[in-house]
Structure 1
């Protein structure tokens, strides 16, 4: 009884304070007070940190209230670049506005809207060309900067069971290096496929066991495969700070790095330029879709756990540049569609933002491929019980897809029972995959250090 009385008295004081506001001060109230008012009026509990709400004010605060509590929260928090999520029957949590994230329903509605913009190859190709030009401009790659004249830095070859490994670094811009590990078949006969294997934000990046399994197995089945660092990750940390990965130019440098890698690999005498693929997971999946959309040299793509109409990638290396604002607004599903009619394998799972691919994004992609009369060239392997990784079942799907379309020797990677077997791959320690030495002592003298030096290279290009 006492508690109810105190609550009523507090509510009365809040109400009296509210009605003291007028249009002269735009009905301005502290955000923390507004949230308290919402809790009182709707009988809910809202979680937030004091740091998130301190020194914030809401204009026309009470005018934003609606009979529906969630509409009220949307009206109030949108003015502060904040959002909310429901955590219980009558409880909510406030977080920073996630510009890259929509609801499943909003993503589906956007796909329906985008589908209304084209209805055949001609109308789609027109939009695709406009989108591509916009995306290059958004990345500040219009025109693409001239490539440095330097040759790649390559370490001695290490011989393994059915494949070889050598570490390699490319000068992407003057003094800016991207490092990777290049896997080749032990015996090369004629022209062989090339596969780019960018990776996402998983711990240890290209040094991880599953990344080594993937690249080595691709080499054992007859491909040249390369894994490479994303910006301010791996050996790129010799030049930039970890926090620089969450800066907008990360997206640009990673894209340019893929172009430079293609420039080199496709000039190798054994490289088959008609069989060039790219496959990465998570942030590497975003990179896979973007590079495929921009570069016609890619003939097959396999984005893993990242094709989603409502999630554009929460890292600036995926959405830090306004690529997703091109064409009046786009999403990863439409960017993935820019691969058509080139073969594409979409790998999704049941425990992240790709959970709805079978009923939302995949039918859309099938429709886009059907414009070219080739709906069979896009496939979806959905693993409902799995999560956000590039695990064995996802890798097997990749091997089989590349094997089918690039006519590779799948028998070379199968055991006596006919199952794909990765056990003959040697998992090397992280230091074995370094280009520049265990302490970075071999980093070239012209290497720049710091994001500000990188930023200067792009000044005036916006």
Structure 2
């Protein structure tokens, strides 16, 4: 009798919870267990990821297949699953910046349907550019500090030199980098910006040193620099600040200030200016080229696709993609036309399908100017998300062609990989940071708001 009463109580409790008065509310963990059992799949998650989460109208979200059911169940919670292998999934958070490929392609097709020739495309660019600057809160630009750059003594190597430079971009805010230059050069030489991407060890990485030193040996001054709250910038800001939306604006302002300085040098050739960066710095490369006409050639590496908007708020945190009734990174890349552009893609990340849809779109835009050949794509289907030697070789070839550099001088065996401490501007422990340098994001926000 007691057992029967207990069973009736369980039924009553279940009934009390599962009706329209309670929104058919169920704990997320219970729903996931049921979905696994019903469809014969495995979903990996931690207790913390599901604790305290509930699904309303849970039973009404079920569909005949597992993936559609999971989409309907998880979307209201800003969750999704990532398929790891057949019948196995991993619970993860919703990624606003990563779209299904078909949706990304359809969106680019929608965008492209707005123009069909050079005149219509130029009108579209004229709409996008000022809107993007406004979205970044960079119209007008904040006042430029009057301070001179801080420059360390030159270091001499085989065919090139290096010196570290810090540029004050806002009062008390510095962007830091290393300027690689050809040894014994005469006359005016090209300028190549090299913002650093989202890889471990920042601009101190060997692949970054190889690239910038090789470009210098080829005959250009190559400036390798940190993104905001990245690398030596972390003397002033926490790494977590890099993932704040304002980082996107500070990075653009930093690159503009760097270019101001480099193009003021007596040996800078203002008609031969390039930029290249990988991953998040590839997104930044595209954005800078769209906004700054001083940049004549660009080479974004493992960065751009119509179904990926940039996985860091420093790439997509400010509302630039809302401009012109929405845009995407491929259309922003097209704003470089007809200036030469190389896109390097691979088979191991979100650039895996570049040759299939996005690259033909860019070719079409360049064809409006009868400059079809000035956009190129080097696709490396067997490689992954890095700035490895084959990516660097593609960049060397491209920069040599359009900036009139000596490609044969890009011999990486003659390059010295420096210790990290040698590349600091402000000393091993930041002891040389100017006294008026600000510290912390709260101070930066106050300064930024005052400058607008």
TM range (shorter): over 0.9
User: Structure 1 residue 439 and structure 2 residue 429: aligned?
Assistant: yes
Provide the residue aligned with 1:384 in structure 2: 381
Q: 1:159, CA displacement in angstroms?
A: 1.8
d(CA) in 2 for partners of 1:409, 1:90: 53
d(CA) in 2 for partners of 1:90, 1:160: 55
User: Structure 1 residue 95 and structure 2 residue 85: aligned?
Assistant: no
Provide the residue aligned with 1:131 in structure 2: 128
d(CA) in 2 for partners of 1:20, 1:173: 57
d(CA) in 2 for partners of 1:388, 1:342: 26
Q: 1:205, CA displacement in angstroms?
A: 1.4
1:193 to 187, 190, 194: 190
8 Å CA contact retained: 1:140, 1:458: no
Q: Describe how 1:51-450 pairs up with structure 2 within 5 A.
A: 51-411=48-408, 413=409, 420-450=410-440
Q: 1:235, CA displacement in angstroms?
A: 1.0
Change (3 A) 1:443 1:32: same
d(CA) in 2 for partners of 1:164, 1:251: 30
8 Å CA contact retained: 1:172, 1:260: yes
170-179 or 45-54, larger mean C-alpha shift? 45-54
d(CA) in 2 for partners of 1:18, 1:229: 59
d(CA) in 1 for partners of 2:125, 2:259: 22
8 Å CA contact retained: 2:347, 2:384: yes
Q: 1:285, CA displacement in angstroms?
A: 0.6
Task: Describe the SS at the equivalent of 1:266.
Answer: helix
Q: 1:460, CA displacement in angstroms?
A: 7.5
User: CA-to-partner distance for each residue in 1:121-180, whole Å, 9 max, x for gaps?
Assistant: 122222222222222122221221111111110111112222211110011111111100
Structure 2 regions of 5+ residues with no counterpart?
A: 1-6
Q: 1:34, CA displacement in angstroms?
A: 2.5
d(CA) in 1 for partners of 2:14, 2:89: 24
d(CA) in 1 for partners of 2:451, 2:57: 40
Change (3 A) 1:110 1:14: farther
Q: 1:101, CA displacement in angstroms?
A: 0.5
Q: 1:378, CA displacement in angstroms?
A: 0.3
Q: CA RMSD in A?
A: 2.0
124-133 or 275-284, larger mean C-alpha shift? 124-133
d(CA) in 1 for partners of 2:41, 2:22: 28
d(CA) in 2 for partners of 1:272, 1:135: 28
Change (3 A) 1:52 1:15: farther
TM-score by length of 1: 0.91
d(CA) in 1 for partners of 2:274, 2:11: 62
Q: How many residues align?
A: 444
Q: 1:217, CA displacement in angstroms?
A: 1.3
Task: Describe the SS at the equivalent of 1:385.
Answer: coil
d(CA) in 1 for partners of 2:358, 2:451: 34
Q: 1:240, CA displacement in angstroms?
A: 0.9
231-240 or 134-143, larger mean C-alpha shift? 134-143
User: CA-to-partner distance for each residue in 1:58-107, whole Å, 9 max, x for gaps?
Assistant: 22222222223222211111100001122343332210111111122222
d(CA) in 1 for partners of 2:95, 2:282: 19
Provide the residue aligned with 1:459 in structure 2: 449
Task: Describe the SS at the equivalent of 1:275.
Answer: strand
Task: Describe the SS at the equivalent of 2:413.
Answer: coil
8 Å CA contact retained: 2:142, 2:451: no
Q: 1:20, CA displacement in angstroms?
A: 5.1
User: CA-to-partner distance for each residue in 1:328-384, whole Å, 9 max, x for gaps?
Assistant: 332221111111111001111111111111112111110111111111000111112
142-151 or 295-304, larger mean C-alpha shift? 142-151
Task: Describe the SS at the equivalent of 1:215.
Answer: helix
Q: Describe how 1:39-54 pairs up with structure 2 within 5 A.
A: 39-54=36-51
Structure 1 regions of 5+ residues with no counterpart?
A: 1-9, 414-419
d(CA) in 2 for partners of 1:385, 1:242: 32
d(CA) in 2 for partners of 1:132, 1:195: 22
d(CA) in 2 for partners of 1:304, 1:14: 59
8 Å CA contact retained: 2:23, 2:57: yes
Q: 1:18, CA displacement in angstroms?
A: 6.2
